[in-house]
């Protein structure tokens, strides 16, 4: 039986993994001096209001003037209300001040352009993580590109699904997933090693060639993203399982092919992007000290990878199967005419400090290069792996054991306070200083009597709910 690989992901440039959640304007304030966004629980905020403040706030919240609510939250917020803190840029501080100074509320004004997208996070402790599905997708694209290159396939008009079927030699139709070799690839979620910091950036779009004309994206509303900062480290596992007998998987995956395909594919993209980006004055990421420390390990125990939003069309499409646009010499050949970059402001005057999104180095541990780069060293008693990987592997340092997830018998909370957060489509409830929540993909699961107050007026309601304990928190399973 194949032993899983322990992996570490070293972040080289800001990474944003979309999670369909945002920082709600009514659940955060900005500390201008410390340059921090502080996200708090709205229910805790309301509980701490003095009687006169509560009356004033309730009256304002009953209307639809978001600007008035926004200002009142800033006025009544107390530093004793703990919350999650995220680093922000100087320009975002000024953006925030500009909103607070607005005299009238205009739905088309600046406040509607203040949507801040969160990166993927663990709702139990609010720490960022890298979903295994994101890494698996990046590895799949690189591997398919290697197969396309090997078979000299360069037909960008092919449908992606039929192209993958041919490259992987899997069966077509209903049985295609059972014969897909990537069914045997298990990638855990990658959890942070020590403290991992995030920062809120503006995403700016720049043309890959000098031009006086701005791109369409540059002239639109600003895109604001929370991203994992450079030099953050995450840990998880990759397991390439051996296909079971009768699986009809004709081309099983091999770890060495999978990882070397990633290094070849993403190093080519980085080289191409950096050749082009020098034209517009960007610094080379490959010359950054944190990247060069892995130079001797690359293609041995470390492999370049790119993932997350704004990674570029090249990083998410099979090589040789994008519609190619020829750029006149002496400019290099490229498949996309613009780059998305992380910036401290929406319209930077210089390109020197801009960073590309999504770059990381995937390190595989432990290996003995003398025995072959994919041969694990003998180690003392193995420790349990994370998430998907069910087997055991070695660790380089002692780690704390994770407490098992405990699911209790359902219990009822009578007269609980329930509030709706539309940004992440979640119901949150509190009762006697205990909290619970539930994702609501379909509002029909909530009794109709609460719809107007919760979904239309965005008010809290009092209801009886059924919850169950999961780990250190509670999950709502029914609202009565």
pLDDT digits (tens, 9 = 90+) for 280-330: 777 788 787 788 888 888 888 899 999 998 875 554 445 544 433 323 333
List residues bridging with 198 in a β-sheet. Answer: 228
pLDDT at 312: 58
pLDDT tens sequence across 54-74: 999 999 888 778 888 888 999
Query: Which of 125-129, 212-216, 284-288, 440-444 is predicted with the least confidence, judged by mean pLDDT?
Result: 212-216
pLDDT at 89: 93
pLDDT at 361: 94
* DSSP assignment letter at 167: H
pLDDT surpassing 60 at residue 261 = yes
pLDDT at 422: 72
Query: Which of 23-32, 136-145, 360-369, 416-425 is predicted with the least confidence, judged by mean pLDDT?
Result: 360-369
Specify the DSSP element, H or E, that contains 59: helix 51-61
**Boundary (domain end) residue, out of 393, 424, 442:** 393
Do residues 424 and 21 lie in contact, with contact meaning Cβ atoms separated by under 8 Å?
Answer: yes
pLDDT at 75: 92
Domain match, 426 and 371 both: no
Q: Output the six-digit token pair for 144.
A: 């398919």
pLDDT at 67: 85
**Boundary (domain end) residue, out of 63, 98, 119:** 119
**What is the phi-psi region of residue 20: left when phi exceeds 0, alpha when psi lies from -120 to 50, beta otherwise?**
left
Domain match, 318 and 425 both: no
Domain match, 206 and 84 both: no
pLDDT at 314: 52
Distance of CA 38 to the CA centre of its chain: 19
Share of the chain above pLDDT 70, in %: 72
The answer as to whether 288 is a domain residue is yes
46 pLDDT band (50/70/90 cuts)? very high
Domain match, 256 and 345 both: yes
The answer as to whether 404 is a domain residue is no
Do residues 310 and 206 lie in contact, with contact meaning Cβ atoms separated by under 8 Å?
Answer: no
CB atoms within 10 A of CB 335: 18
List residues bridging with 365 in a β-sheet. Answer: 6
Please tell me whether the peptide bond between 445 and the residue prior to it is cis, using omega within 30 degrees of 0. Answer: no
pLDDT surpassing 70 at residue 334 = no
pLDDT surpassing 50 at residue 16 = yes
36 pLDDT band (50/70/90 cuts)? very high
Specify the DSSP element, H or E, that contains 216: helix 216-219
39 pLDDT band (50/70/90 cuts)? very high
Range of the domain at 459: 411-479
Domain match, 9 and 28 both: no
List residues bridging with 191 in a β-sheet. Answer: 235
pLDDT surpassing 50 at residue 81 = yes
List residues bridging with 31 in a β-sheet. Answer: 36
**Which of the two residues, 77 and 321, has the higher pLDDT score?**
77
The answer as to whether 398 is a domain residue is no
**What is the phi-psi region of residue 276: left when phi exceeds 0, alpha when psi lies from -120 to 50, beta otherwise?**
alpha
**What's the CA gap between 15 and 177, in Å, rounded?**
30
Domain match, 336 and 312 both: yes
**What's the CA gap between 390 and 400, in Å, rounded?**
18
pLDDT at 273: 79
Q: What is the mean pLDDT of residues 28-41?
A: 92
37 pLDDT band (50/70/90 cuts)? very high
Query: Which of 159-163, 175-179, 257-261, 368-372 is predicted with the least confidence, judged by mean pLDDT?
Result: 368-372
The answer as to whether 439 is a domain residue is yes
pLDDT at 473: 73
pLDDT tens sequence across 171-199: 555 456 667 778 888 888 999 987 889 99
Sequence-separated (6 or more) residues with CB below 8 Å from residue 65: 105
**What's the CA gap between 105 and 296, in Å, rounded?**
57
The answer as to whether 165 is a domain residue is yes
Domain match, 46 and 142 both: no
**What's the CA gap between 468 and 414, in Å, rounded?**
14
**Which of the two residues, 74 and 126, has the higher pLDDT score?**
74
**Pairing state of beta strands 473-479 and 434-439?**
parallel
Sequence-separated (6 or more) residues with CB below 8 Å from residue 207: 213, 215, 280, 337, 338
Q: Could you tell me how many residues make up the chain?
A: 480
457-462 CB contacts, 8 Å cutoff, 24+ apart: 457/62, 458/61, 458/420, 458/422, 459/61, 459/62, 459/419, 460/43, 460/46, 460/417, 460/418, 460/419, 461/417, 461/418, 461/419, 462/415, 462/416, 462/417, 462/418
The interaxial angle of helices 255-277 and 132-150, nearest 10 deg, is 90
Domain match, 275 and 181 both: yes
- Alpha carbon distances (Å) from 454 to 7, 418, 420, 425, 447: 44, 8, 6, 11, 11
**What's the CA gap between 24 and 2, in Å, rounded?**
45
pLDDT surpassing 90 at residue 17 = yes
31 pLDDT band (50/70/90 cuts)? very high
**Boundary (domain end) residue, out of 67, 99, 119:** 119
251 pLDDT band (50/70/90 cuts)? confident
pLDDT surpassing 90 at residue 52 = yes
Domain match, 287 and 343 both: yes
85 pLDDT band (50/70/90 cuts)? very high
**End-to-end Cα distance, the chain:** 49
Domain match, 429 and 331 both: no
Q: Output the six-digit token pair for 313.
A: 């069309």
CB atoms within 10 A of CB 465: 23
Distance of CA 249 to the CA centre of its chain: 32
- Secondary structure (DSSP) of 303-331: EEEE-STT--GGGGS-TT-S--B---TTS
0.85 surpassed by pTM:
no
Number of structural domains the chain divides into: 3
- Rounded to the nearest integer, the mean pLDDT of the chain is 76
Distance of CA 282 to the CA centre of its chain: 24
Domain match, 370 and 464 both: no
The answer as to whether 125 is a domain residue is no
Domain match, 203 and 266 both: yes
CA atoms within 13 A on the CB side of 6: 17
Do residues 202 and 221 lie in contact, with contact meaning Cβ atoms separated by under 8 Å?
Answer: no
Q: What is the mean pLDDT of residues 8-21?
A: 92
**What's the CA gap between 304 and 262, in Å, rounded?**
6
* DSSP assignment letter at 452: I
pLDDT surpassing 70 at residue 480 = yes
pLDDT tens sequence across 369-420: 333 334 433 333 333 333 333 333 333 343 443 433 334 467 888 888 888 8
Q: The CATH number of the domain where 452 resides is what?
A: 2.40.50
The answer as to whether 406 is a domain residue is no
pLDDT at 286: 79
pLDDT at 375: 40
The answer as to whether 402 is a domain residue is no
* DSSP assignment letter at 183: G
């Amino acid at each position: 039986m194949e032993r899983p690989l322990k992996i570490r992901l070293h972040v080289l440039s800001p990474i944003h993994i979309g999670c369909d959640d945002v920082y709600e304007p009514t659940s955060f304030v900005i500390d201008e001096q410390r340059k921090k966004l502080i996200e708090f629980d709205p229910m805790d905020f309301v509980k701490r209001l003095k009687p006169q403040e509560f009356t004033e706030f309730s009256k304002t919240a009953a209307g639809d003037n978001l600007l008035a609510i926004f200002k009142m939250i800033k006025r009544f917020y107390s530093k004793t209300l703990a919350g999650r803190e995220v680093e922000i840029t100087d320009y975002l501080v000024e953006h925030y001040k500009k909103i607070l100074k607005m005299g009238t509320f205009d739905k088309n004004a600046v406040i509607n352009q203040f949507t801040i997208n969160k990166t993927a996070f663990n709702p139990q402790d609010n720490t960022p993580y890298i979903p295994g599905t994101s890494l698996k997708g990046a590895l799949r694209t690189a591997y398919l590109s290697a197969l396309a290159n090997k078979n000299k396939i360069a037909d960008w008009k092919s449908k992606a699904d039929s192209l993958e079927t041919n490259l992987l030699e899997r069966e077509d139709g209903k049985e295609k997933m059972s014969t897909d070799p990537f069914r045997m690839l298990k990638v855990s979620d990658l959890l942070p090693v020590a403290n991992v910091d995030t920062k809120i950036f503006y995403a700016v779009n720049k043309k890959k060639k000098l031009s006086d004309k701005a791109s369409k994206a540059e002239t639109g509303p600003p895109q604001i993203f929370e991203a994992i900062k450079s030099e953050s480290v995450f840990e998880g596992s990759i397991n390439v399982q051996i296909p079971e007998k009768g699986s009809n998987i004709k081309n099983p995956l091999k770890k060495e092919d999978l990882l070397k395909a990633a290094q070849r594919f993403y190093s080519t993209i980085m080289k191409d992007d950096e050749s082009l980006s020098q034209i517009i004055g960007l610094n080379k990421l490959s010359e950054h000290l944190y990247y060069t420390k892995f130079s001797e390990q690359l293609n041995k125990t470390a492999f370049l990878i790119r993932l997350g939003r704004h990674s570029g069309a090249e990083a998410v499409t099979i090589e040789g199967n994008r519609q190619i646009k020829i750029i006149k010499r002496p400019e290099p050949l490229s498949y996309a005419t613009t780059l998305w970059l992380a910036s401290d402001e929406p319209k930077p005057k210089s390109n020197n400090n801009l960073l590309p999104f999504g770059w990381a180095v995937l390190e595989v541990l432990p290996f003995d290069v003398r025995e072959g780069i994919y041969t694990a060293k003998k180690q003392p008693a193995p420790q349990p792996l994370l998430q998907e990987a069910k087997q055991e592997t070695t660790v380089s340092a002692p780690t704390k054991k994770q407490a098992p997830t405990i699911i209790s018998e359902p219990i009822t909370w009578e007269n609980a306070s329930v509030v709706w957060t539309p940004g992440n489509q979640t119901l949150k409830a509190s009762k006697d200083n205990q909290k619970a929540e539930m994702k609501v993909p379909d509002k029909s699961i909530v009794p109709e009597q609460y719809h107007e107050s919760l979904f239309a007026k965005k008010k809290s309601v009092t209801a009886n709910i059924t919850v169950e304990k999961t780990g250190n928190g509670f999950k709502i399973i029914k609202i009565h």
